[in-house]
Amino acid sequence: VCISAFSFLRFGLFLIVSMSSAELILSLNDIGAIKFGDFTLKSGVQSPVYFDFRDVSCFPKLLRSVSEALWKAGQDAAVRVDSVCGVPYTALPFATVICDHHNIPMVIRRKEAKSYGTAKMIEGDRVLTAGSRCLIIEDVVTSGSSVLDTVKVLKEAAEGVLVEDAVVLLDRQQGGRQRLLKEGVRMHSVFTVQEVLSVLQDSSRISDTEVEAVKKFVKDNQF
């Protein structure tokens, strides 16, 4: 992608490259974060596509662009934010960059409590006051279970905190959005799996056969 296609925003000492969704998808594909083949998901189901955004943090400019795209998705949806919590572990760098750039308190959810010290599940819970709004940041949503687990832990850590919105990089379109909404959480995504397929197909990066295989998988594996 030509650098002239980028728009630049300054936050403190950081230069953020603001990319379109299509530019982000192509950049993520360039670093191998979007893979096609035969993969076993956390659920045990075999999938023809796999999204692995862990290595985004190895590319600082892309990390900042992804984080800003997540922030923009929330702002476009008029989400109100008093604090931010990234779902461990892949979304933690995204949440960190967002909080740093926009001067927002960040809370950290542990996957398990330590057996020593304070044994907290949430670090930074002092900012989770009654009536305050904590925004969840996630990389990929399939069923929505990881987001719901985070909502539960946040509410157990702070009575009265409002956790009503989650911003995600990718919606796999397998029912997670609807499931979250039933639990009172609105999901806002930077892009969907359909948009990923369209961009990569239009750029001749994947075959028609791969596109159809993913579409069939998504249709046949709804939560």
Strands 46-51, 34-40: parallel, antiparallel or unpaired by DSSP? antiparallel
**What does DSSP assign to residue 87?**
P
Give me the long-range contacts of 191-195 (CB less than 8 A, separation at least 24): 191/21, 191/24, 191/25, 193/49, 193/218, 195/21, 195/25
**What does DSSP assign to residue 136?**
E
Give me the phi and psi of 200, to 5 degrees please.
Answer: -70, -35
Distance CA 92, CA 178 (A): 24
CB 16 within 8 A of CB 65: yes
CB 27 within 8 A of CB 55: no
Question: What pLDDT, on a 0 to 100 scale, did the predictor assign at position 16?
Answer: 58
Between 26 and 5, whose confidence is greater? 26
CB 209 within 8 A of CB 192: no
pTM of the full predicted structure?
Answer: 0.92
- When mean pLDDT is compared across 2-16, 109-123, 199-213, the lowest value belongs to 2-16
Q: H or E stretch including 212?
A: helix 208-220
Mean pLDDT of the chain: 92
Whose tokens are 């572990």? That residue is: 89
What are 114-127's pLDDT values in tens digits?
Answer: 788 888 999 999 99
Q: Is the pLDDT of residue 222 over 80?
A: yes
CB 150 within 8 A of CB 87: yes
Distance CA 63, CA 66 (A): 5
Closest to 163 (Cα-Cα) out of 196, 125, 197: 125
Q: How confident is the model at residue 15 (pLDDT cuts 50, 70, 90)?
A: low
Question: What pLDDT, on a 0 to 100 scale, did the predictor assign at position 12?
Answer: 44
Q: Is the pLDDT of residue 144 over 70?
A: yes
What are 35-67's pLDDT values in tens digits?
Answer: 999 999 888 899 999 999 999 999 999 999 999
What are 69-119's pLDDT values in tens digits?
Answer: 999 999 999 999 999 999 999 999 999 999 999 999 999 999 888 788 888
Q: Counting Cβ atoms within 10 Å, is residue 149 exposed (0-12), middle (13-18) or buried (19+)?
A: middle
